Amino acid sequence: MAAEVTPTVWTVRNLLTWTAKHFTAKGIESAATDARLLLAHVFGCRPIEVLARYDDEPTDGERKRFRELIQRRVEGCPVAYLVGSKDFYLLSFDVTPAVLIPRPDTETLVQAAIEFLKGKPTPAVLDLGTGSGCVAVSVAHGVKAARVTAVDVSPDAAEVAQKNAAKHKLADRVAVLVGDLFAPLPADATFDLIVSNPPYIPRSEIDTLDRGVKEYEPRLALDGGPDGLAFYRRIAAEAGRRLNPGGAVMVEVGWTQEPAVRGIFAEASGLAVGESLQDMGKRWRVVRAVRG
C-alpha cells in the first residue's frame, strides 16, 4: 500500500488514517468518509461499527479487498457504486451503474411530495424517470396510503427500482414500468401527484462534470438535451391531462434553471405554477404546479 511511511501494524485505525491521507493527496474531498465506507463494506458492517474496531487487525484477505477498492476509488469510481448502496432520506438504496446515485438535494422533492399528500385517503402518485426508485419508494414509505407508479426508459434501471421496492417491502404499492415518460401508462391513467427528477444537464456541459459523474453515472440520466430543458417541456405538455383536479406536478431542477422551468410550466395548459422550493443549501431545487 505504499509510497508513504507505513505503520508497523495495519490496525483499522492505521488503515483509515493512511487511506484518508492517500485520498486527500489524490484530490478526493470526502477522504475520511470514503475510507470508512469502503472498509465497512469489506467488513460487511455499518460504517459506524468500524469506529469500534480501531484496534483490530484485518486479515490479509480483507486488506487485499480494501486495496482493490482504494485503487478503484482513486481511478474515479464513486463510492456508492463500489459498495452497491447509498443512503437517501430515511432508507438505504441499492445502486448500480445503471442508475444515478441518489443525492441529498433530491430529498427536497421527496419532502414536498409527502407534505402535499398528507391527509389524502388513497393518493395515486407517478414518478417519471425513477432510476433507483429512491423518490418513488421514499414517498410510498412516507405516505402509507399512497400507490406509486414508477417509470423509467431503462430496463436495467427499472430492475434496480423494483429490487429497492421489494427491499423495503413496498412492492405491493410501488409498480415499476419500463418506458419513455408517460408512454407505458394506460391512456386514461390519472394521478394526484406527478414527481420527477429528470435529466437536466445541458448536453454540452456533461463533459465538464466531475470525473465520477461523467465517466461512471449513466449519461441517459444526465442528458437534458441541448439546453437541459427537454424533459421539462415534455412533462409539462402532458401533466395537465394526467392530473386529477387539484393534483400537482413537482420537478427537481438545476439551481440555475428555476426561472426557465417555471416559465415552461406557466405556459402549459391547465396548470398554475406555485411557489418554488429551495434545498438545504438555499438553492432553487423544486418547481411546483397545480391543476386548477
Count up the domains in the chain and report the number. Answer: 2
In a domain, 125, yes or no: yes
- The reply to whether 60 and 160 lie within a common domain is no
CB 81 within 8 A of CB 101: yes
Q: Name the nearest CA neighbour of 189 among 156, 147, 152.
A: 147
What's the CATH number where 281 sits? 3.40.50.150
Q: Which domain holds residue 42?
A: 12-75
In a domain, 18, yes or no: yes
In a domain, 3, yes or no: no
- The reply to whether 58 and 110 lie within a common domain is no
Whole-number pLDDT of residue 45: 94
In a domain, 150, yes or no: yes
In a domain, 200, yes or no: yes
- The reply to whether 40 and 104 lie within a common domain is no
CB 81 within 8 A of CB 46: no
- The reply to whether 28 and 149 lie within a common domain is no
Which grid coordinates are listed for 109? 422533492
Whole-number pLDDT of residue 251: 98
In a domain, 123, yes or no: yes
Whole-number pLDDT of residue 39: 97
Task: Give the chain's end-to-end CA distance (angstroms, integer).
Answer: 63
In a domain, 4, yes or no: no
- The reply to whether 206 and 253 lie within a common domain is yes
- The reply to whether 23 and 143 lie within a common domain is no
Residues 157, 8: Cα–Cα separation, whole Å: 45
SS3 277: strand
Give the phi and the psi of residue 247 in degrees, each rounded to 5. Answer: -75, 165
Whole-number pLDDT of residue 60: 94
- Of the three residues 26, 41, 75, the one that is the final residue of a domain is 75
In a domain, 171, yes or no: yes
- The reply to whether 129 and 209 lie within a common domain is yes
Which grid coordinates are listed for 101? 446515485
- The reply to whether 67 and 124 lie within a common domain is no
- The reply to whether 49 and 167 lie within a common domain is no
Encode the chain (292 residues) as per-residue pLDDT tens digits. Answer: 455 556 668 999 999 999 999 999 999 999 999 999 999 999 999 999 998 999 999 999 999 999 999 999 999 999 999 999 999 999 999 999 999 999 999 999 999 999 999 999 999 999 999 999 999 999 999 999 999 999 999 999 999 999 999 999 999 999 999 999 999 999 999 999 999 999 999 999 999 999 999 999 999 999 999 999 999 999 999 999 999 999 999 999 999 999 999 999 999 999 999 999 999 999 999 999 999 7
